[in-house]
Amino acid sequence: MSRILLVEDDARIVGFIKRGLQAEGYVVDLAGNGEDALAMVRETPYSLIILDRVLPGIDGLEVCRALQRERHENLVLMLTAKDSLQDKIEGLKGGADDYLTKPFAFDELIARMEALLRRGPGAAAVPELRVGDLVLDPLSKKVWRGGREIGLTAKEFRLP
């Protein structure tokens, strides 16, 4: 399972994208501003970040730059209403791996995500580990037994 961070402040868009991604089998975490997004990336490994450019506080472009400065290898798909050629160039030069403008087709979002994930740093990520009915997902740090999630703290998950 790929874990996605959706950074968007419009509740309607958040609901639409989150439902769609979950239906596609993705684990989705949400951040409504740049500060929360950076804090979450520092704590959790994400396969991909879907990032709005216009956010309260730190904007999406500054989030990309901060990720680069901190040497995070997260894939970033910028999803924004800023649609001028200059905006796209700034976004891509600022650290986004792809740039999709609103309004958008959900199928195109999925296709772009899949393309990024195929060639990104997480492409060779450790797959889920399975032993009988026990499933461990090292990326999302979740464990299931018999199809039911077992709640573990981060410390419990790290124990050898």
| Those residues with Cβ within 8 angstroms of residue 9's Cβ, 6 or more apart along the chain or in another chain | 32, 33, 52, 54, 55, 56
Q: What is the DSSP string of 4-73?
A: EEEE---HHHHHHHHHHHHHTT-EEEEESSHHHHHHHHHHS--SEEEE-SS-SSS-HHHHHHHHHHTT--
Question: CB–CB of 41/74 below 8 Å?
Answer: yes
Question: 113 and 86: one domain?
Answer: yes
Question: 78 and 154: one domain?
Answer: no
Q: Which residues make beta-bridge pairs with 64?
A: none
Supply the pTM of this predicted model.
0.75
User: Domain holding 119: CATH number?
Assistant: 3.40.50.2300
Q: Quote the DSSP letter at residue 109.
A: H
Question: 73 and 135: one domain?
Answer: no
Question: 21 and 70: one domain?
Answer: yes
Question: 117 and 133: one domain?
Answer: no
Question: 151 and 87: one domain?
Answer: no
Question: 80 and 98: one domain?
Answer: yes
Is residue 75 scored above 90 in pLDDT? yes
Is residue 124 scored above 60 in pLDDT? no
Question: 46 and 88: one domain?
Answer: yes
- When divided into structural domains, the chain yields a total of 2
Is residue 148 scored above 60 in pLDDT? yes
Question: 62 and 12: one domain?
Answer: yes
Question: 91 and 153: one domain?
Answer: no
Range of the domain at 153: 129-158
26-74 tens-digit pLDDT: 999 999 999 999 999 998 889 999 999 999 999 999 999 999 898 888 8
Question: 134 and 73: one domain?
Answer: no
- Of 39-43, 65-69, 87-91, 133-137, which range is least confident? 133-137
Question: 30 and 72: one domain?
Answer: yes
